Amino acid sequence: MPIDLLRSFIAIVEAGSLAQATETILLTQSALSLQMKRLEDVLQQKLFRRDGRKLSLTPAGEELVGHARQLLALNDRIVSALGQDFDPEPITLGLVQDFADTILADVLSRFHFGHPRARIVIRVGGSVELLDMFDRSRLDLVLCLGQHGDRIGSSLKTVGHDRMVWLGQPDSADLEELPLVLLESPCRFRDTALHTLGENKRAYRIVLETPNLPALGAGVRGGLGVSCRTRRFATSEGLPLLPAGVLPPLPEVETVLVRRNGLSDTAHDLAELLEQAAGD
């Protein structure tokens, strides 16, 4: 019996629906549906019946629940007894684009050397989005930017600092009404830029607004306007920096690593590599 299909089957049974099972299995509903079709093909039995929008078990499905739990428990005992993870659970990692574009390749290379059988699922996004996924148990580790309160069932550590810098061409900064290229809300850099300019009574207008960093970088390179980001990101992307003093100074931003309590030693090793790379 395919272990991955049985794990998905039990996850659906315990969650009560395909939609809820995606929170723990980290597969789409369509992928889970295909897995259940494969399992029914293997057994030549219907396991679920639809009751409106709900799924209910057929008699064959109810009988499989007990057998599946026994097989999964036996599989886990074998793995534990042999001391090697033959069917490793994925480590789910979330990080902001600043680190995906700079340190991730080296971290993954070093991690793979020590854990060649490990499986990683990576999500790149904004800090707010990633921490929301962490709170919903969709991520094990998050490397993000900014100050964030403690999170239940986890440890949060500041692993580094970077200075925010203004990006753009000097002629853009000379305009009476400063043109801005910004990410959509919620975004710490957007909030900081607007707050800093407001505090210094500097007139501005937003000329480009985008949800992704490549488009922001294109706007800055194309001379549409000015933006702000970390010095690490600006250097890695080759984006033009405005000279100091042209615009009001920006504050430092913290690099924060959040890890869920009770992670495997393998996941902790990945966390240590991320901490080391982010703090360099």
How many domains does the chain fold into? 2
Residue 52 pLDDT greater than 80, yes or no: no
State residue 148's pLDDT score.
60
pLDDT tens for each residue of 138-159 = 999 999 987 665 555 567 888 8
pLDDT tens for each residue of 37-46 = 999 999 999 9
Q: For residue 154, what are its two tokens?
A: 């986890």
Residues 114 and 209 in one domain: yes
Least confident of 13-27, 182-196, 224-238: 13-27
pLDDT tens for each residue of 86-104 = 556 889 999 988 888 888 9
Pairing of strands 54-57, 48-51: antiparallel
Q: Which CATH number fits the domain that encloses residue 38?
A: 1.10.10.10
With residues binned 3-state (H G I as helix, E B as strand, rest as coil), the percentages for the chain, rounded to 5, are: 45, 25, 30
Say how far apart CA 226 and CA 160 lie, in whole Å.
25
State residue 226's pLDDT score.
95
Mean pLDDT within 260-265: 87
What angle do the packed helices 265-279 and 104-114 form, to 10 degrees?
150
* Residue 32 burial class via C-beta count within 10 angstroms: exposed 0-12, middle 13-18, buried 19 and up: buried
Domain that holds residue 75: 3-82
Q: What percent of the chain has pLDDT over 70?
A: 93
Q: Output the CA–CA distances (angstroms, integers) from residue 4 to 27, 59, 124, 260, in the order listed.
A: 12, 22, 26, 24
Of 82, 105, 134, the residue that ends a domain is 82
pLDDT tens for each residue of 176-219 = 899 999 998 888 889 999 999 999 999 999 999 998 888 998 99
Residues 70 and 104 in one domain: no
Nearest to 159 by CA among 21, 249, 68, 276: 276
Mean pLDDT within 128-142: 89
